[in-house]
Amino acid sequence: MAARSGQAGSVFKKGNTWKGRFLEDVPGSDKRVYRSVLLGMSQGEQAMTKPEAKRKLKELIQERGINTEAHLVRSLNPVQTFSQKVTYWEENIACFFKPATRTTMLNHLSKHITPVFGGLPLDQVTEVTVQEFITKLHKSGLAPKSIMNIVGVIKLIVGQKVWRDWSLKMPVIPHQEQPYFTQAQMNQIIDKTPVRYKALFSVLAGTGMRIGEAVGLHIEDVDLEKNVVTIRRSVWAGKEQEPKTSNAHRRVTIDQNLSDVLKAYINGKTSGRLFESKKKCPLCANNIAKRILKPILDELKIQGSFHSFRHGRVSILQQAGVPGDLTREWIGHSTLRITSRYTHFDDAFRKEIVEGLSPVSHFSTEKGLPA
């Protein structure tokens, strides 16, 4: 790359004004073009002399860095905008994410991120601009968890080399107790479930699998001789896909009662989907949640969702003293730390444990407390 020689530019008079002319590198060309700028008046009260006009032009050239090598490099290597990086990411990276995750991230981009950062050069997406963006989202009332997810997409776009030194202040995510179903509540829900969906709800209660995994089961995945269900796929938006994570590929041992329920439900079939619509398509989890589960929960005055079966199953296994590693394996978590987040202990269980561990000796209430 040939170095550019320095320049002072030239000053000339046009009408009653002083104008300056200089050469500037432009993106996409190895030749410079002439630029012309107004410097000031040559006549009247605000008139400047030619030497003054030259000094002003020199200052302008220095401010723009036109004589520097960095300016030349930027010209020969046009600045990439955030939108251009987004386009590259969508075409080459986004396809590796699960459809549900990809859809959510693309929605964050179109709704929140691109309108703010789209036209900026990539090097202007900095810790300061992102922090201002976070603050704006927070003041708008957006949930802290949503803000965290949106910022996560920005980091994916700009890359770790850019954001690794950032120290962003994020809104605190408030603690929320996730709803879970106790064994008694699961029994109540299944009792009120229409016959067509009793087996599905029983699988959710007896295995803790995700609803997408349950509707993705095939009859070949169910071994009623060994009482084992193998999870090989999931369903999202009516399409089969790989389970959520590598740990979600798993074998879950089921009890004999659930095995009997499935045996009666399968009724001798040897292939096909375990749960399917009348059109032989995968069941739509959202429709079942709205049309079946929600009315039942409203009637029973129970808070929760399909995921509450999962939380409830983990809690039941933990309370029963099942080894943590086995619980984690059956549920499909990557670590016991995640499994712990799904564990809930009801008041009755807590009281039972405490009563069995009481250090206080029994004594007659008539005699009062021991001295």
Cα end-to-end distance, the chain, whole Å: 95
Determine the length of the chain: 371
Q: What are the strands of the beta sheet with 250-253, ordered from one edge?
A: 222-223, 228-231, 250-253
- Strand ranges for the chain from DSSP E: 10-14, 17-25, 32-41, 222-223, 228-231, 234-236, 239-241, 250-253
Task: List the alpha helices (DSSP H) in 164-267.
Answer: 183-192, 195-207, 211-214, 256-266
The CATH fold assigned to 183-350 is: hpI Integrase; Chain A (1.10.443)
- In tens digits, what is the pLDDT along the chain, a chain of 371 residues? 445 566 878 999 998 999 999 887 766 566 778 888 899 999 888 899 999 999 999 888 888 777 776 555 555 556 688 999 999 999 999 999 988 899 999 999 999 999 999 988 888 899 999 999 999 999 999 999 999 999 999 999 999 999 999 999 999 988 778 899 999 999 999 999 999 999 999 999 999 999 999 999 999 999 999 999 999 999 988 889 988 888 899 999 999 999 999 999 999 999 999 999 988 899 999 999 999 999 999 999 999 999 999 999 999 999 999 999 999 999 999 999 999 999 998 888 888 888 877 666 555 455 555 55
Q: What is the pLDDT of residue 156?
A: 95
Q: What is the pLDDT of residue 325?
A: 95
Q: What is the pLDDT of residue 127?
A: 94
Cβ atoms < 10 Å from Cβ of 53: 22
Q: What is the pLDDT of residue 3?
A: 53
Instruction: Name the DSSP letter for residue 282.
Output: B
- CA atoms of 127 and 164, how far apart (whole Å): 10
Q: To the nearest 5 percent, what fractions of the chain are helix, strand and coil?
A: 50, 10, 35
Task: List the alpha helices (DSSP H) in the chain.
Answer: 50-64, 69-76, 82-92, 99-108, 114-117, 127-139, 144-158, 160-163, 183-192, 195-207, 211-214, 256-266, 285-288, 294-300, 306-319, 324-331, 336-341, 347-356
Distance of CA 289 to the CA centre of its chain: 22
Q: What is the pLDDT of residue 1?
A: 43
Distance of CA 192 to the CA centre of its chain: 35
Q: Are strands 32-41 and 222-223 parallel, antiparallel or unpaired?
A: unpaired
240: left (phi over 0), alpha (psi -120 to 50) or beta: beta
Q: What is the pLDDT of residue 70?
A: 59
Judge contact between 118 and 83, C-beta under 8 A.
yes
- CA atoms of 134 and 330, how far apart (whole Å): 38
Which residue from 18, 24, 25, 15 is spatially nearest to 54, judged by alpha carbons? 18
Q: What is the pLDDT of residue 309?
A: 97
Q: Where in the chain is the domain with CATH 1.10.150?
A: 82-163
Which residue from 75, 96, 94, 83 is spatially nearest to 32, judged by alpha carbons? 75
Instruction: Name the DSSP letter for residue 342.
Output: T
- CA atoms of 28 and 78, how far apart (whole Å): 7
CATH code, residues 82-163? 1.10.150
Judge contact between 144 and 119, C-beta under 8 A.
no
Q: What is the pTM of this model?
A: 0.70
Judge contact between 57 and 63, C-beta under 8 A.
no
Q: What is the pLDDT of residue 76?
A: 52
Instruction: Name the DSSP letter for residue 218.
Output: B
Give whole-number Cα distances, 275 to 243, 280, 287, 350, in Å. 17, 9, 14, 37
Q: Where in the chain is the domain with CATH 1.10.443.10?
A: 183-350
